[in-house]
Amino acid sequence: MRAIQCGLCVTATLEASDASTFYADNCDGGEHLSLGKGVPREGEGSDDDVRWNLLHWGAAWDVQRVEYHAEAKQRYYTFVAIAAPPLKWQRAVARKYPNLDFVLSFHSADCDLAAGYVSYSGGRLVGQHGDDACLRPALVNILAAYDAERHAVNVIRPVLALWVQHRLYRHPDGLRLAALRAHFEDRAEVKMK
């Protein structure tokens, strides 16, 4: 499965403590961010239930290699997601925390998955570019391939390759994402303006 490099900027629109509350609610032990804390598994199922994870988080497993930076009203995260960016998780936490703005940017490490961003404000989608539309069919096919051969990673990889496009990542003007900019600019295939 593909490793997707992600950056998340969480900005409090009212009180700075709202960003601190998000951090406290979504960290898990030594990890600064856990998808399972923001969108917990209901009922039975293991943490490695890839089908459930893809349907509720958008990513195959919880995020890995999380790096974190905090400012007064903002929290910056960089992490690796597996198979796809956690767009469904982002939508769920954006609705759960309407006093926070969420900008999730993403690209594949080997650049065979289109890059992009998705932005929420006040619990509503306010902007997107890139992968949201082209990932929907890919996720359906990933689930079908995963059901056909439960743990055959080699089956899932070509399915993703059928639905990908190469795009340059461009973030909308006016968003303050210094930590994310530094994270992405060191990669030759991704240029930010």
pLDDT digit string, tens, across residues 50-60: 888 888 998 98
Q: Residue 49, SS3?
A: coil
Three-class DSSP category at 22: helix
pLDDT tens track for 103-145:
998 887 665 555 788 889 999 999 887 744 444 434 444 444 4
β-strands 100-108, 124-129 pairing? unpaired
pLDDT tens track for 174-184: 333 343 444 44
pLDDT class of 169 with cuts at 50, 70, 90:
very low
How far, in Å, are 20, 42, 86, 149, 191 from residue 11 at the CA level? 10, 28, 18, 41, 23
At 34, is the pLDDT very low, low, confident or very high (cuts 50, 70, 90)?
Answer: very high
Other CB atoms within 10 Å distance of the CB of residue 177: 21
The CATH number, out of the four listed (3.30.565.10, 3.30.70.1270, 1.10.3720.10, 3.40.50.150), of the domain defined by the range 3-177: 3.30.70.1270
pLDDT of 78 above 60:
yes
- Please check whether residue 171 is in contact with residue 117, taking contact to mean a CB–CB distance below 8 angstroms: yes
> For the segment 147-156, what is each residue's pLDDT rounded down to a tens digit?
444 433 333 3
Mean pLDDT over all residues of the chain? 71
**For residue 190, what pLDDT is reported?**
40
* Tens-digit pLDDT profile for residues 35-49: 999 999 876 655 558
**Of 94 and 187, more confident:** 94
